[in-house]
Structure 1
Amino acid sequence: MMQNRRALSNINVNVVGARLPCSVAVGERGSSDKNALYDKQPFHPVQRPCPRKFPVSIAGDHQQLLLPEETKKTGHVLPDLNEPDRTVIDLEDYKMMAGDFSAPVFVQHTEAILVEIDEMDEIEMEDAYEEPIMDIDICDKKDPLAVTEYIDDLYRYYKKVEGSGCVPPNYMDQQFDINEHMRAILIDWLIEVQYKFQLMDETLYLTVNLIDRFLSLYPIVRKKLQLVGVTAMLLACKYEEVSVPIVEDLILISDRAYNRKEVLDMERLMVNTLQFNMSVPTPYVFMRRFLKAAQSDKKLVLFAFFIMELCLVEYEMLNFPPSLLAASAIYTAQCTLSRFKFWSKSCEYYTGYTEELLLECSKRMVAFHQSAGSGKLTGVYRKYSMPKFGYAAKAEPASFLLNATL
């Protein structure tokens, strides 16, 4: 049967809403004989849904292939496709038997439509696909420490109040004896102290936040800058750590440049200047949540924190709020490890930042990565060049982001 079929170039059998130019006989309902005798009842083709939008929009209900009277009078019938000795007659044969008649435009251009459909099929599939936003807390529903019932409200609150923990990006102009380079030296040293004392990451981020907030409100001389740093770390340890380093340890690591009374006096001055406000959202708070949204593995986590700690040293990164810094660090880490730009719908949903908003900050992070191993401030680079941190600093920088546009 298949060998006797002709090309279906002009047959409009599959056009939605079309009527066939003949009548076909059908057997009685329930008859077991497949080759039942023909009767004179008209054949009604089964209406099937069209999976593509393009032909449906053309073949509307008002556009039907109407049979001319000459065709109805001749009584030509469509052969039974189940019989092997019959041949399928195409539209040209019907024209010869029933006389020529003009078909609508959509029938004349069936082949052109099908070609366009094939070309558009892949594009329509892409447009129809929408990346789902996953529930990143579904696995923690039974963990009371995850507080999944309140986690979204908590981070909405963090985003709302994160500005209270930010400082003016030009606050160093109010300092008469210190500058941004001295600040960078201090924080680079404190990153090493945090690693030597095996303190938590939360402690480091809060330490830097306390330093910047204090310096933005109180002028300090350069010989007291290191005292501000160790005192800020002492306060952060009291807030975050279970086992707090004693004051003598901090005095020892600062090469005994200060005594116990000076440290306690500075501690009193700092908490009063900051009005005892220690609970502010730092970039670390957002990093943990955003890394979960990115479905991060250990390699991505280490590299994201490497990029983030590079930003802690840089004074210019105070221009960006903590949540944007965290999201940009993860975006930069994903692009660096995958070697192409990547930002999922889930990341966009949970961070609240599109790829376009992250690009400027990410470009600066790539520049910091490129120069991390050179210069005098290499504390972060040396820390993340160790096996414990997965040699994160050794990764090839995502230089392609420097020229990227959206």
Structure 2
Amino acid sequence: MVMKNEITADHYIHKDLGFSYLDFLLQLLLSFQYYQCGAFMQAKSCVRPDYMSSQQDINSKMRAILIDWLIEVHYKFELMDETLFLMVNIIDRFLEKEVVPRKKLQLVGVTAMLLACKYEEVSVPVVEDLVLISDRAYTKGQILEMEKLILNTLQFNMSVPTPYVFMKRFLKAADADKQLELASFFMLELCLVEYQMLNYRPSHLAAAAVYTAQCAINRCQHWTKVCESHSRYTSDQLLECSRMMVDFHQKAGTSKLTGVHRKYSTYKFGCVAKILPAQFLLESGGTPPPSGAN
């Protein structure tokens, strides 16, 4: 039997997220079930990080160009964050299973956006709009045919745990303000373009994005017991992934693909792209320099 004084620490961890003591035991059970289910679903929905080796006419650079362009289209259409992450997931799962010629890669992208919109959005762009944004490279009929192919290939499975699902929970655990929320999504969206980040599970990417954003804003390592409890990742476990995010952050404004950087340099997104990268994470041990050091 669990006594009240034996769960005080965990009670406060959950209380920080807005749960009352009466909700605590139920929350423990739900949290356990959530992560058990999430771990299983992540394993089922993640793609092989080397799937591009099976493609004959496209490569990771072409994937990056496509996703960078789709991020801009997503921004112009004012779609929800959920749609963006599901769209990229659909693209990767489809490319893992189907060999796609170069001339049809953009068709896969706009069709994945259409499917993600149908799943997440209240108001869905009409197919004619997708024809226009692709500069009439494809017809309405081709988009609808590709829609059927993607759905059949993925066995109509659109319900997958993307990084967005975990991000919302981890931001709440971090007691995030608007700046931290935007900075975290900036880090996460930088990763969407990078094929190598498929090596990490959605929950790992989400946790590392929050951690990296906290380090950049606070200029020090910042990962509380509350964050660790709800993410199931320690700061040491996040460090490798976070260092990669810092590297992406440093290069974001000068790389060939600047869609994410331009988006998060606007006032609408808090100009968080202009926050200085947490370069101290790249140093041995990830320890910040003393106050006042160059």
TM over 0.5: yes
Q: Within 1, Cα distance between the matches of 2:29 and 2:234?
A: 24
Q: Which residue of 365, 389, 393 corresponds with 2:273?
A: 393
Q: Within 2, Cα distance between the matches of 1:179 and 1:400?
A: 33
- Post-superposition Cα deviations, 1:172-231, rounded to whole Å, max 9, x if no partner, equal 000000000000000000000111111000000000000000000000000100000000
Structure 1 unmatched runs, 5+: 1-129, 142-146
Q: Within 1, Cα distance between the matches of 2:180 and 2:18?
A: 22
Aligned to 2:134: 254
Superposed displacement of residue 156, structure 1:
3.5
Structure 2 unmatched runs, 5+: 1-8, 287-294
1:274 aligned to 2:274? no
| TM-score (normalizing by structure 2) | 0.89
Contact 1:140-1:148 at 8 Å conserved across structures: no
Aligned to 1:87: none
Aligned to 1:199: 79
Q: Within 1, Cα distance between the matches of 2:16 and 2:137?
A: 48
Identity of aligned residues (%): 61
Aligned to 2:113: 233
Q: Which residue of 99, 122, 125 corresponds with 1:242?
A: 122
Q: How many residues align?
A: 273
Q: Secondary structure at the match of 1:133?
A: helix
Aligned to 2:259: 379
Q: Within 2, Cα distance between the matches of 1:238 and 1:302?
A: 25
- Post-superposition Cα deviations, 1:20-39, rounded to whole Å, max 9, x if no partner, equal xxxxxxxxxxxxxxxxxxxx
Q: Within 2, Cα distance between the matches of 1:187 and 1:346?
A: 33
Q: Secondary structure at the match of 2:204?
A: helix
1:312 aligned to 2:192? yes
1:356 aligned to 2:236? yes
Structure number with greater Rg is 1
Q: Secondary structure at the match of 1:306?
A: helix
Amino acid at match of 2:251: S
1:334 aligned to 2:214? yes
Aligned to 1:295: 175
| TM-score (normalizing by structure 1) | 0.65
* RMSD of aligned alpha carbons: 2.0
Q: Within 2, Cα distance between the matches of 1:355 and 1:219?
A: 38
Q: Within 1, Cα distance between the matches of 2:81 and 2:269?
A: 13
Amino acid at match of 2:278: A
Any runs of at least 4 consecutive aligned residues in structure 1 with deviations exceeding 4 A, and if so which?
Answer: 147-151
What does 1:50-129 align with in structure 2 at a 5 Å threshold? none
Q: Within 2, Cα distance between the matches of 1:192 and 1:387?
A: 16
Q: Within 2, Cα distance between the matches of 1:140 and 1:250?
A: 47
Superposed displacement of residue 398, structure 1:
0.4
Q: Within 2, Cα distance between the matches of 1:240 and 1:136?
A: 29
197 and 399 in structure 1: CA distance in 2 versus 1, 3 angstrom threshold:
same
Aligned to 2:98: 218
Compare relative contact order (CA 8 Å, sep 6+) and give the higher one, 1 or 2. Answer: 2
Amino acid at match of 1:228: V
Q: Within 1, Cα distance between the matches of 2:264 and 2:35?
A: 29
Q: Within 2, Cα distance between the matches of 1:154 and 1:242?
A: 26
Amino acid at match of 2:75: Y
